[in-house]
């Protein structure tokens, strides 16, 4: 897909974060209604999907259909489909992640079957191919925005939402955040290599134990640091050592593979702490949440990332820094900082 040509881009985001999502692209804003869950920007979007913190999906708009009649929406939609590319690997009918959007999902499910059948007939839908994905996004019942996404530069799940089932014996819903972070911020190979039985982790701000639960399920031994109580299966688990200590002062006796942190604190404090763990060699990888302020969120994030980069550079460490506002995040983003090993 040619990403260097100026285009209109459709990005999905958590409702309430439209301004942050638009600001991050640095492009001209065409549409960014508060709490709508999506934005449209115009220009050359050079930032790849993985580097956009607030975008859940990145779609290049190619066409649209407006004033769709209630009786027959299929004819004008088929007419609005682009001639190129000639084939798509998938067809996703999507709606905003809002209450209004949910009321449209019954309609999109029915419509999906009709459209898919038509695209198969004309051999434009070739499943399991590397061709781009076709997205038809309905901001409401009368309007459809039609776009394409590159499989290597987009989220791999409809609406950019990774839906996960709450594990029955995990002590808190926060467990889903870490599960989503592993899926989103690590590659399959990294998950295999970095989350193995026998590895070790420190969980700062661990109680009641949702993140610890994820680590234990991957076979890691966990030092769970929190003054609060660990609950359920994590209260007395043989792989978990609960330490009632201050997460900002705690240091393990030996370096660990992972340190994760979900303490509710100022983003700059948490970022500096995590960078210290990596710079000092106390941990190899870290995943942590940065709670966003009400205002100037992007500025606060940039500041935190600059502090991390400065610490890494002064310690002469090669690293990877990636951040996303995950579906299971609220007023926060999840950050991965990992040391790149010398070959």
Contacting residues toward ligand SAM, per CB under 6 A: 171-172, 174-175, 205-211, 225-228, 246-248, 262-264
Q: How far is the CB of 67 from ligand SAM (least distance, A)?
A: 46
Nearest partner of 171 among 211, 204, 144, judged by Cα: 211
For ligand SAM, the closer of residues 124 and 231 by Cβ is 231
Q: Identify which of residues 90 and 226 has a Cβ nearer to ligand SAM in the complex.
A: 226
CA angle, 249 as apex, 245 and 252 as ends, to 5°? 80
Reading the block at residue 124, the tokens are: 């434009």
> With respect to ligand SAM, which residue has the nearer C-beta, 133 or 242?
242
- Nearer CB in complex with ligand SAM: 90/265: 265
* Helix, strand or coil, per DSSP, at residue 102: helix
Tell me which of 64, 141, 231, 291 is the catalytic residue. Answer: 291
Distance, CA of 185 to CA of 283 (rounded, Å): 18
Residue 341 DSSP class = P
**Partners of 117 in the β-ladder:** none
CB of 262 to ligand SAM, least distance (A): 3
Report in angstroms how near the CB of residue 35 gets to ligand SAM at its nearest: 24
Q: Are strands 221-225 and 200-204 parallel, antiparallel or unpaired?
A: parallel
291 catalytic, yes or no?
yes
Residue 227 CB, nearest approach to ligand SAM (Å): 6
The residue whose two tokens read 């950050």 is 335
Sign of CA dihedral 32, 11, 320, 281: positive
Pairing of strands 57-65, 90-94: unpaired
Residues with a known catalytic role: 291
């Amino acid at each position: 897909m040619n990403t260097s040509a100026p285009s209109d881009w459709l990005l999905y985001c958590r409702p309430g974060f439209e301004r942050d999502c638009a600001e991050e692209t640095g492009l001209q804003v065409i549409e960014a209604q508060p709490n709508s869950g999506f934005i449209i920007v115009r220009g050359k979007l050079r930032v790849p999907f993985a580097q956009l913190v607030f975008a859940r999906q990145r779609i290049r708009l190619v066409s649209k259909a407006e004033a769709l009649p209630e009786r027959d929406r299929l004819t004008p939609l088929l007419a609005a489909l682009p001639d190129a590319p000639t084939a798509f690997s998938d067809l996703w009918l999507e709606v905003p992640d809002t209450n209004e959007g949910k009321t449209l999902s019954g309609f999109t499910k029915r419509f999906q079957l009709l459209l898919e059948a038509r695209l198969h007939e004309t051999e434009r839908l070739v499943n399991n191919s590397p061709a781009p994905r076709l997205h038809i996004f309905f901001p409401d019942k009368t309007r459809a925005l039609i776009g394409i996404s590159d499989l290597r530069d987009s989220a791999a799940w409809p609406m950019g939402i990774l839906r996960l089932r709450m594990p029955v014996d995990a002590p808190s819903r926060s467990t889903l955040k870490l599960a989503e972070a592993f899926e989103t911020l690590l590659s399959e190979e990294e998950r295999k290599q970095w989350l193995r039985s026998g590895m070790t982790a420190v969980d700062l701000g661990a109680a009641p134990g949702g993140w610890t639960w994820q680590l234990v399920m991957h076979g890691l031994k966990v030092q769970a640091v929190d003054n609060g109580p660990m609950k359920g299966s994590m209260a007395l688990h043989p792989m978990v050592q609960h330490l009632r200590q201050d997460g900002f002062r705690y240091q393990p006796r030996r370096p660990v593979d992972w340190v994760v942190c979900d303490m509710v604190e100022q983003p700059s404090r948490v970022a500096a702490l995590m960078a210290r763990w990596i710079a000092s060699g106390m941990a190899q990888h870290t995943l942590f949440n940065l709670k966003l302020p009400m205002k100037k969120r992007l500025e606060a994030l940039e500041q935190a990332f600059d502090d991390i980069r400065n610490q890494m550079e002064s310690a002469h460490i090669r690293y990877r820094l990636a951040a996303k506002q995950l579906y299971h995040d609220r007023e926060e983003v999840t950050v991965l900082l990992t040391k790149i090993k010398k070959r």
